[in-house]
């Protein structure tokens, strides 16, 4: 046999070396499904009689080595069928591990989950230096754990602490990070992957560390205990996959080869139990919603191929948000003109851009050279230069409608009729902006609302006015997707979607303080509920003056459920504005925050009671948003709240939370 091609891979013998190329003929990426395992099994079977002296596994896809299990096909299996699928994957990968030949995984692109499990079954791994190369185990983020041998092989390769850190965080490493932890042996330019893999096959096998000092059963038990305490403190026990993975991985490290089978069985049993849990259902649902949001069309009637791509942009206002948006846009290779009212402010903005690129270098996102090249894509200006060549302009100047109206009239005069003009306003009426004096072609005006900090927050609200054309919306969606963010389309209405749902919850938390419930208790209740931060800490972060301003705008639009309690007004008038002024609901002193004590009643309500009351505020407002058609469906609300506010992902979002409560009440 010299060459054999099936629908998901091909096997070729080149100068005595078997080259297995992963290349799913039916889709743009490679995934592990039943057919993949069948074809892989057959290819490995053929190797025995091929006389090959080594095996290289690589991918023919542009950006993917092997992106993990096909969750759609895995999700359709239950019970015995699922158990058999896990066993099969373990066996096929184990048959690679047992080959009496040198084996090298030559990784370019996403090598995640099941993809990494395949790579771990090889004796050596090398990876391309490309940005597309991402290596990791995202399973715990979906409420699962690696169960095709990954939870067993990783601690044996890296030692328990590093393996746990990778599996429990779900982190995806670039080639540099993967080399640093010992996951891959070498980094190679993409074009040289095969040549280098062949050279490794012809060289000596590397000696691997045994990790005795971290993996022996005594140390492993200590690591397990202390990690368990940390996990419980951090997650309040809401994410069972983390505890389960900790248990399985920490017992796998020192198993002699004979007990690999026992470790595989623990992986399989744990997976089968986790997959039935509510948490896993919600996390997988959110994963699919996010995938859907990446490709969802606003209007199928628009021929998106005829729309101009965004090749050149401008950002007006070089403050916190403007510099963040400019940096993120340049980081994706799109040139940006960054403008502000004078040279000093532009220079300040450029400093922030440079700082954000430095941070990206520290986080191994870019090499120093790449960061410099990308930074050069941001051009500063304080002059009213022509914007005719810009495809998209994002205004991120001060939150003042009159200022924004002037800026937009000026933008209309300086840009071409087809330039999309977007505002990053948090709460101002975009329709009014689009209808104001001096505006030409209001159909190209909309909101592109980023969240702070831009580099970390995945959600972007695309805010559509009654005048915005579907083409403009599709162009904005395409731009946001190029940035790698998740867009949710919302109707222009005060607070849009996320801030509108958040506001009554924050106001209600402040009202509870006024009624005598302690600050610490309220925030604790919502941390226990699964929010990343308590509502009163969040109010302090936003700034009590800013929150008060937004709440009064929304009271004018929607009525008293947004009305600010007198306590908030009082704190603001005393200059207690939250973190930025050193005091608010907390006192801030050298990075420590102490909850302030207001009048506390003797009878404090239970934590569950508080959480229920506050979570209900969000769910009620979410339902109103749906009724008013601010957003297309309940799923979009859940996704936006999880990505935009960190709403407890395991609860699935405010709509899902409410529907589960209603179902329970009905049974």
Binding site for ligand NAI (CB under 6 A): 316-322, 339-341, 345, 396-399, 403, 407, 424-426, 450-452
Q: Which residues fall within 8 angstroms of residue 375, CB to CB, at 6 or more apart?
A: 330, 353, 354, 357
Task: Pick between residue 20 and residue 480 the one whose CB is nearest to ligand NAI.
Answer: 480
Q: How far apart are CA 540 and CA 237, in angstroms?
A: 27
Q: How far is the CB of 501 from ligand NAI (least distance, A)?
A: 15
Q: How far is the CB of 348 from ligand NAI (least distance, A)?
A: 7
Given strand 186-188, what is the order of strands in its sheet? 3-5, 9-14, 17-22, 54-59, 103-107, 124-128, 186-188
Structure token digits, residue 435:
């209808």
Q: How far apart are CA 255 and CA 269, in angstroms?
A: 18
Q: How far apart are CA 379 and CA 204, in angstroms?
A: 51
Q: How far is the CB of 534 from ligand NAI (least distance, A)?
A: 18
The CB-based long-range contact list for 269-273 (8 Å cut-off, 24+ gap) reads 270/145, 270/147, 270/244, 270/245, 271/86, 271/144, 271/145, 271/147, 272/82, 272/83, 272/86, 273/244
Task: Pick between residue 7 and residue 452 the one whose CB is nearest to ligand NAI.
Answer: 452
Q: What are the C-alpha distances in Å from 544 to residues 282, 537, 550, 559?
A: 33, 10, 10, 20
Q: What would you report as the CA-atom Rg of the chain, rounded to the nearest whole angstrom?
A: 27
Task: Pick between residue 424 and residue 465 the one whose CB is nearest to ligand NAI.
Answer: 424
Task: Pick between residue 117 and residue 461 the one whose CB is nearest to ligand NAI.
Answer: 461
Q: Where are the beta strands (DSSP E) in 110-156?
A: 110-112, 124-128, 134-136
User: Which one from 72, 131, 180, 449 is the annotated catalytic residue?
Assistant: 449
CB 99 within 8 A of CB 205: no
Q: How far is the CB of 629 from ligand NAI (least distance, A)?
A: 23
Residue 423 main-chain phi, psi, to 5 deg: -115, 145
Task: Pick between residue 410 and residue 587 the one whose CB is nearest to ligand NAI.
Answer: 410
Give the residue closest to ligand NAI by C-beta: 319
Q: How far is the CB of 565 from ligand NAI (least distance, A)?
A: 23
281 catalytic residue (yes or no) = no
Task: Pick between residue 402 and residue 560 the one whose CB is nearest to ligand NAI.
Answer: 402
Q: How far is the CB of 199 from ligand NAI (least distance, A)?
A: 51
Q: How far is the CB of 395 from ligand NAI (least distance, A)?
A: 8
Compute how many other C-beta atoms are within 10 angstroms of the C-beta atom of residue 573: 10
Task: Pick between residue 279 and residue 553 the one whose CB is nearest to ligand NAI.
Answer: 553
The angle, 0 to 180 degrees and rounded to 10, between the axes of the packed helices 634-645 and 607-627 is 130
User: What dihedral do alpha carbons 648, 652, 654, 659 form, nearest 10°?
Assistant: -140
Structure token digits, residue 253:
């490290």
How far does CA 491 lie from the centroid of its chain?
24
Catalytic residues: 449
């Amino acid at each position: 046999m010299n060459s054999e091609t099936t629908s998901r891979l091909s096997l070729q013998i080149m100068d005595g070396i078997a080259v297995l190329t992963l290349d799913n003929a039916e889709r743009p990426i490679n995934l592990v499904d039943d057919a993949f395992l069948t074809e892989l099994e057959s290819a490995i079977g053929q190797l025995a009689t091929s006389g090959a002296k080594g095996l290289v596994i690589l991918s023919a896809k542009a950006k993917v080595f092997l992106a993990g299990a096909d969750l759609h096909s895995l999700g359709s299996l239950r019970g015995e069928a699922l158990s058999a699928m896990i066993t099969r994957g373990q066996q096929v990968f184990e048959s690679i591990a047992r080959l009496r030949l040198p084996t090298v995984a030559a990784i370019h692109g996403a090598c995640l989950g099941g993809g990494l499990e395949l790579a771990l079954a090889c004796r050596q791994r090398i990876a391309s230096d490309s940005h597309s190369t991402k290596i990791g185990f995202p399973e715990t983020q979906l409420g699962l754990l690696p169960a095709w041998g990954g939870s067993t092989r990783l601690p044996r390769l890296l030692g328990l602490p590093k393996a746990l850190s990778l599996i429990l965080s779900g982190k995806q490493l670039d080639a540099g990070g993967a080399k640093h932890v010992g996951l891959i042996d070498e980094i190679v330019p993409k074009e040289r992957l095969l040549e280098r893999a062949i050279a490794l096959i012809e060289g000596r096998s590397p000696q691997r560390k045994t990790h005795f000092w971290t993996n022996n059963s005594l140390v492993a038990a200590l690591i397990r205990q202390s990690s368990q305490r940390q996990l419980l403190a951090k997650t309040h026990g809401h994410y069972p996959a983390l505890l389960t993975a900790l248990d399985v991985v920490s017992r796998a490290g020192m198993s002699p080869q004979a007990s690999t089978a026992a470790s595989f069985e623990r992986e399989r049993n744990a997976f089968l139990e986790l997959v039935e849990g509510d948490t896993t259902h919600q996390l997988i649902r959110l994963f699919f919603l996010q995938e859907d949001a990446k490709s969802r069309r606003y209007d199928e009637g628009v021929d998106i191929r005829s729309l101009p791509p965004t090749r050149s942009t401008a950002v007006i206002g070089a403050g916190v948000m403007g510099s963040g948006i400019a940096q993120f846009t340049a980081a994706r290779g799109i040139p940006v003109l960054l403008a502000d009212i004078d040279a000093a402010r532009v220079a300040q903005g450029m400093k922030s851009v440079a700082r954000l690129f430095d941070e990206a270098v520290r986080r191994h996102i870019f090499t120093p050279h790449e960061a410099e090249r990308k930074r050069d894509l941001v051009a500063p200006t304080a002059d009213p230069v022509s914007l005719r060549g810009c495809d998209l302009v994002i205004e991120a100047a001060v939150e003042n409608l009159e200022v924004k109206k002037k800026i937009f009239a000026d933008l209309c005069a300086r840009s071409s009729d087809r330039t999309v003009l977007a505002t990053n306003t948090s709460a101002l009426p975009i329709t009014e902006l689009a209808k104001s004096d001096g505006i030409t072609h209001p159909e190209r005006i909309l909101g592109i609302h980023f969240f702070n900090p831009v580099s970390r927050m995945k959600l972007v609200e695309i805010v559509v006015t009654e005048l915005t054309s579907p083409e403009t919306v599709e162009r904005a969606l395409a731009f946001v997707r190029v940035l790698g963010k998740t867009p949710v389309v919302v109707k222009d209405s005060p607070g849009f979607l996320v801030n509108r749902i958040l506001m009554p919850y924050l106001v209600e938390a402040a009202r509870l303080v006024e009624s005598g419930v302690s600050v610490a208790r309220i925030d604790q209740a919502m941390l226990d509920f699964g929010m990343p931060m308590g509502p009163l800490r969040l109010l302090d972060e936003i700034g009590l003056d800013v929150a008060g301003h937004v709440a009064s705008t929304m009271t004018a639009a929607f009525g008293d459920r947004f009305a600010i309690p007198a306590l908030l007004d009082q704190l603001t008038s005393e200059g207690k504005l939250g973190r930025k002024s050193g005091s608010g609901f907390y006192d801030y002193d050298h990075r420590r925050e102490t909850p302030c004590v207001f009048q506390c009643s003797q009878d404090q309500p239970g934590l569950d009671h508080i959480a229920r009351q506050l979570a209900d505020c969000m769910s009620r407002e979410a339902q109103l948003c749906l009724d008013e058609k601010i957003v297309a469906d309940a799923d979009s609300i859940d996704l936006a709240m999880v990505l935009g506010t960190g709403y407890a992902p395991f609860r699935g979002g405010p709509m899902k939370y409410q529907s589960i409560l209603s179902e329970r009440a009905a049974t």
